[in-house]
Amino acid sequence: MSSAFCADYAELSEVRVSDPGRIARLAAARKRRTVREVDGKMLIVAADHPARGALGASGDPYAMNSRLDLLDRLRTSLSNPAVHGVLGTPDVLEDLLLLGALEDKVVFASMNRGGLQGGSWEIEDRMTAYDAASIEGFGFDGGKMLTRIALEDDRTSSTLKICADAVSDLADRELIAMVEPFMSERRGGKIVNDLSPDAVIKSIHIAQGLGRTSAYTWLKLPAVDEMERVMEATTLPALILGGDPVGQDRDEVYSSWQRALAIPHVRGLVVGRSLLYPPDGDVAGAVATAASMMS
């Protein structure tokens, strides 16, 4: 099997021309690891931001411009055995698949990338990446959907229906629906998420009611103040998102993750830019710090 993996990025591009079917063959043969096989809390690296046009990290608006640099950082992260898996869009996950970086990893597929950052239609976040059928076909563990709820924007109703249908479609296939809800509003032309505890609680109640069943629904939530009270809003499994803590004290950010991880039905972390693009550039060190919180 190892000879089927690409040795470098030049070969990666060549395979996409000469043998694109290799992607499906590698997916079918991939050594899988399910969430039920993870002992303790999970650490998942997220890399679905670029497809939304969100290329900034650590104060640099163009940090994620280079796909090769992103892949280098992802491979460094995934090489740490304490990193259990990855979340990404098809383009990123297929590159990692061809490079052999998804072996024995949990994989979550990003579904709704249509709400481009800065777009006038941003709240109406249609499914433009994976759907439930393709997630099942690739043998991945579930699908993730950002679910921003802006009460003053009529398009929110479309977003909720789109996400509800995705939750149902995933559940029909016994796949996890990872719902990431926010109460949001537009300020100065930019979508801003309300991270107050009561707003997060409200978003939880809306999100966990989506779909024909909640049997396979997980939540992806920010670490906010009063997290113990916030998590009383749900019995669903939850993963804590890392975000991009620009201007925040990193020790306090890590402390907030640790406090959230101490809550029993918090199952782990999904962290992207704060691990992949740390201010000091030490990806391996940032990953090791996050991994030390898993127990």
- The predicted model gives 64-72 an average pLDDT of 97
CB-based burial of residue 288 (10 Å sphere; 0-12 exposed, 13-18 middle, 19+ buried)?
Answer: middle
The CATH T-level fold of domain 2-291 is: TIM Barrel (3.20.20)
- pLDDT tens for each residue of 253-272: 889 999 999 999 999 999 99
pLDDT for res 245: 67
Whether pTM exceeds 0.85? yes
CA distance 238 to 250: 22
| pLDDT above 70 (res 192) | yes
Confidence of residue 54 (pLDDT cuts 50, 70, 90): very high
pLDDT for res 207: 98
- The predicted model gives 205-224 an average pLDDT of 97
- Given the DSSP bridges, would you call strands 190-193 and 176-187 parallel, antiparallel or unpaired? antiparallel
pLDDT for res 247: 65
- The predicted model gives 45-49 an average pLDDT of 96
Per domain, the residue ranges of the chain are 2-291
